[in-house]
Structure 1
Amino acid sequence: MTTEFPPERPIAHVYDAAYAGVPNWDIGRPQRAFVNLVEAGLVRGPVLDVGCGTGELALFLARQGYDVLGIDLSGLAIRQAAEKARWRRVPAHFLIWDALNLRGLKDAGFSFRTVVDSAMFHVLGDSERDRFIDGLAEVIQRGGMYCVFGDARDDETRLYGISPAEIRNRFRDADGWEVVFAVRTVFERRWSRNPAYFVGVRRR
């Protein structure tokens, strides 16, 4: 199922242009970190996949029996994801939606026990990261998990990428968050691979 809402941010057109071809980050399967997450029994449904792109992670999770909603700014990516779901006969759902407006999902009656993020947070600006986290607090159920994967940032003077230190700083205990794991791993792309971090945060 796919439902369309007009994207709010002009950057949607940038991603539409990327998905007119095959972006370097779209490897035709989920990143291994998320496969390990499922194998460890740490995913609980319903699941929200933010920045889902053409849907490989959402489709993988749906095949494991999870109720999954994938959202992305790019209407083209969402249409490709919905087409994959139809041809593969996988019951995943997709929605053109801005991940900076998660409160809107709450207002529409959605809540989730797991939110997965495969390389979305790591491209956000500083204020966008705070806005996204505020929205997460609205849609993640108590005891639910946010699992974020992105390029490793070893220089804290740069914004692009993620680091465990930044995640701990932004997801504060005082605000009801708890970092439960942080591992260094690899971000596989179609023509390259580079260091990455995978971090899990629980909503208390």
Structure 2
Amino acid sequence: MTGDGNPFIDRRPTSHERLTGMPWDASYHDGPAPWDIGRAQPAIVRLASIGGFTGAVLDVGCGSGENALHLASLGLSVLGVDVAETALVLAREKADDRGLAVDFAVADAFELERVGRMFETVLDCGLFHTFDDDERRGYVASLASVTEHQGTLYVLCFSDDGPETGPHPVSRDELRAAFDSGTGWNIDTIEPDRILTRFHDDDDDGAPAWLATITRI
């Protein structure tokens, strides 16, 4: 049994869940989660506008689905996965309301091979930075298990560079250490960007972030 009450996957609570004392699903029980801004992240919209997503797309830690839904609206085949079942219920309701064909499924980010599919493009928007060093090793291997060779992984995570950093900020060196040739990856670029949250005003540009473009080798 998981901390989110799902009998089909058995997982240990993540470091973030142990720190907060709450399962991920609880973030969606009393209104939108802090990271659920009601639309796709601008960085993801921008990537999509220049053709950054191709083939079958996996959105890991998709939450209530805004990024996945945006990509599906462009005609892409998208699977969004999360351990928070409440978030997935919301995502499916949005897909129905918008007339979009998107698959959403419960899955453990550390055992993505159980999805049984491979993907040309994989998106991690705001998940990597929630894991500690020990968890990152397993997570990176899990991502590799579902990413086609020469496929692309995008990681948008809180950055340690700049004022008003978000929780769990990550350094460039931490990204490079996690995604190297020894783990089956090559980092193409790590660029400064922003992540919007519900803690920021509508006219705010959010918290500092890294947008990493990474190739599966």
State whether TM-score is above 0.5. yes
135-144 or 170-179, larger mean C-alpha shift: 170-179
TM superposition shift of 1:40: 1.9
Q: 1:176, CA displacement in angstroms?
A: 3.4
Aligned to 2:113, what secondary structure does the other structure show?
A: helix
Percent identity of equivalent pairs: 36
Structure of higher RCO (CA pairs closer than 8 Å, 6+ residues apart): 1
Q: 1:19 — aligned with what?
A: 28
Q: Distance in 2 between matches of 1:19 and 1:25?
A: 10
The superposition leaves residues 46-93 of structure 1 with CA deviations (integer Å, 9 ceiling, x where unpaired) of 010000000000000111111100001101001111111111111011
Structure 1 stretch 117-126 or stretch 13-22: which is displaced more? 13-22
Deviation for aligned residue 1:95:
0.4
How far, CA to CA, are the matches of 1:50 and 1:162 in structure 2? 18
SS at match of 2:152: strand
Unpaired runs of 5+ in structure 1? Answer: none
Deviation at 1:13, TM superposition (A): 5.4
**Residue from 202, 205, 208 that aligns with 1:195:** 208
Q: Give the aligned partner of residue 180 of structure 2.
A: 172
The residue type equivalent to 2:151 in the other structure is G
Kindly state the Cα deviation for residue 9 of structure 1 after the two structures are TM-superposed.
Answer: 3.8
Q: Which amino acid aligns with 1:195?
A: P
What's 2:154 paired with? 147
Counterpart Cα distance in 2 of 1:118 and 1:76: 18
The number of equivalent residue pairs is: 196
Residue equivalent to 2:203: none
1:48 to 58, 65, 70: 58
Task: Find the counterpart in structure 1 of residue 112 from structure 2.
Answer: 102
Cα displacement (A) at 1:163: 2.5
In the alignment, is the contact (CA less than 8 A) between 2:141 and 2:183 conserved in 1? Answer: no
1:56 and 1:177 mapped to 2: Cα distance?
A: 27
Q: Which amino acid aligns with 2:213?
A: G
**Alpha-carbon distance between aligned partners in 1 of 2:113 and 2:169, rounded to the nearest angstrom:** 24
Aligned pair partner of 2:87 in 65, 72, 77: 77
Residues of 2 paired with 1:71 and 1:160: CA distance? 22
Within 2, Cα distance between the matches of 1:5 and 1:43?
Answer: 30
- For the pair 1:122 / 2:129, whether they are aligned, the reply is yes
Determine the structure 2 residue equivalent to 1:183. 191
Deviation of 1:175 after TM superposition, in Å, equals: 4.0
> What SS class does the counterpart of residue 68 from structure 1 fall into?
strand
Specify the alignment match of 2:4 in structure 1. Answer: none
Report the CA distance between 1:39 and its aligned residue. Answer: 1.6
**Displacement, 1:165?**
1.8
Q: CA RMSD in A?
A: 2.2
Is the CA contact (8 Å cut-off) linking 1:5 and 1:97 kept in structure 2?
Answer: no
| Matched position secondary structure for 1:115 | strand
Alpha-carbon deviation of 1:154? 4.2
User: Normalising by structure 2, what TM-score?
Assistant: 0.83
1:162 deviates by 2.3
Structure 1 residue 65 corresponds to structure 2 residue 72:
no
Which position in structure 2 is the counterpart of 1:112? 119
Report if the CA contact (8 A) 1:15-1:74 is conserved.
yes
Q: Which amino acid aligns with 1:171?
A: F
* TM-score normalised per structure 1: 0.88
